[in-house]
Structure 1
Amino acid sequence: MIWLTWFFALLGFYGLTTWLGALLQASGHSVAKSVSYTILISLAGVPGFITSAILVERWGRKPTAVLMLLGSAVAAYLYGNSPSFGWLIAFGLMMQFFLFGMWSVLYAYTPELYPTRARATGAGCASAIGRVGSLLGPYAIGVILPVLGQGGVFALGAGSFVVAAAAVGFLGIETKGKALEEISG
């Protein structure tokens, strides 16, 4: 479950964020403005981290992961289909909020899924599988962009986040409030 989650979450994340500046330039924005917009949009990640950290303790790991991944999917789709520049910035802020929140919960949830004797190896392997997704994501975007345009690019990102959310939602276990021995037992 966690390998699927990491693979698709990182495929979507790196696929979109690697190309974000280029996609803004393709929409007619200068390099300088594209960088400025990307920095502005990234600032929304800070409250995303904080919100996710709070929700992990209040709601639990599983529901917070599903929320952040589905929020990333919706925001990515909306960003890719923004009707105006103002909406582009608003959906970009929303997307970064959920994407950074996704990171916060993944790093809290993943180690808890493994017994103490295998925690570092398990979390490392999950991250490594995710890195395969992070390599394939930008490549897939490069293939999809000329064929399906920006809408297709953001649909791929959104679809990746939905698959990751489904993996957690259907296959994941809740670890909040449980002893590590109970989880790995």
Structure 2
Amino acid sequence: AKPAIADIFKPGLGMTTVLVTAAYFTHIMSFYFLVKWVPAIVVDMGFAPTAAARLLTWVSAGGAVGGAIFGFFATRMQLRPLTIVTLIGSALAIAWFGSGVSSMGLLTVIVAFAGFFTNASIAGLYMLFAKVYPTHARATGTGFAIGVGRGGAALAPIVAGYLFEAGFGLQSVALTMGSGAVVAAVLLFFLKERAAD
């Protein structure tokens, strides 16, 4: 029989589904704040739009390196604690970006670090999806979490925009949006990994 959504909410899997889906959703909000708002924020700081666009390249470059390095360590270390560490790194890097740094050189370093940790965390979450579900429910569980996560991707720029409109400064907005990664890290503390099946 084809696995159904109901399978991933059965006893023994329901809490796993809630935890990984919520963790992915909250972290994706942090990630998409970074991707969607960095150029506008940097232009607002007085930098040229071309310089702001270049920073996004550094987010991507940091992300590519982060994903690769995470993959290397994931085969040598426990996956869940490693992902928790990268999630905390994501939150710290986003908070650092929000601290109002005015040097383009330092901003470049910060966004590269933010890209590194946020992408490494996404890689970790994807690998965790594969570990926490039995084979028969893996595709359904992963698809469900990623599908719900898309909502976080859509919501993040709107929530950040609303906070800016409401008069919150960059530091407050960055701390709020970066906290999604912290929430994800806390949720993973409660996640149980399955033995290989």
TM-score (norm 1): 0.89
In the alignment, the residues of structure 2 paired with residue 40 and residue 10 of structure 1 have an alpha-carbon distance, to the nearest angstrom, of 18
Give the Cα separation in 1 of the matches to 2:93 and 2:64: 16
Amino acid at match of 1:63: P
Partner deviation per Cα, 1:44-87 (whole Å, 9 max, x = no partner): 12220111112211112101110111000001001110433133
Instruction: Summarize the alignment of residues 144-163 of structure 1 with structure 2, pairs less than 5 Å apart.
Output: 144-146=163-165, 147-163=167-183
> Any idea what SS the aligned residue of 2:169 has?
helix
Alignment correspondent of 1:77 = 95
Q: Which runs of 5+ in 2 are unaligned?
A: 1-18
1:27 aligned residue: 45
Match of 1:179 in 2: 196
3-state SS in 2 of match to 1:43: helix
Q: Is the 8 A contact 2:87 2:121 kept in 1?
A: yes
Question: Which whole-Å CA distance do the structure 2 matches of 1:149 and 1:66 have between them?
Answer: 28
Distance in 2 separating the partners of 1:137 and 1:74? 18
Matches of 1:118 and 1:132 in 2, distance apart?
A: 22
Q: C-alpha offsets along residues 96-136 of structure 1, whole Å, 9 cap, x if unaligned?
A: 11011112111111122111111111100111121111111
CA distance in 2, matches of 1:37, 1:129: 28
Contact 1:75 / 1:91 at 8 angstroms: preserved in 2?
Answer: yes
Please give the alpha-carbon distance, in whole angstroms, between the structure 2 residues aligned to 1:166 and 1:141. Answer: 22
d(CA) in 2 for partners of 1:16 and 1:35? 12
Aligned to 2:138: 119
Amino acid at match of 2:156: G
In structure 1, the partner of 2:185 is 165
Paired residue secondary structure (2:150): helix
Question: Partner of 1:67: helix, strand, or coil?
Answer: helix
Shift of 1:173: 2.2
1:16 maps onto 2:34 in alignment: yes
Runs of 4+ in structure 1 over 4 Å off: none
Identity percentage of aligned residues: 28
Query: Contact (CA 8 Å) 1:82, 1:91: kept in 2 or not?
Result: no
Q: Aligned equivalents of 1:153 and 1:50: distance in 2? A: 29
- Partners of 2:83 and 2:72 lie apart in 1 by 12
Tell me the amino acid that sits aligned with residue 152 of structure 1.
Answer: S
The amino acid that maps onto 1:71 is G
Superposition TM-score, scaled by structure 2 size: 0.84
> Which structure features the higher share of helix residues?
1
Give the alignment partner of residue 118 of structure 2, picking from 84, 99, 105.
Answer: 99
**Is there any run of 5+ residues in structure 1 with no aligned partner, and where?**
181-185
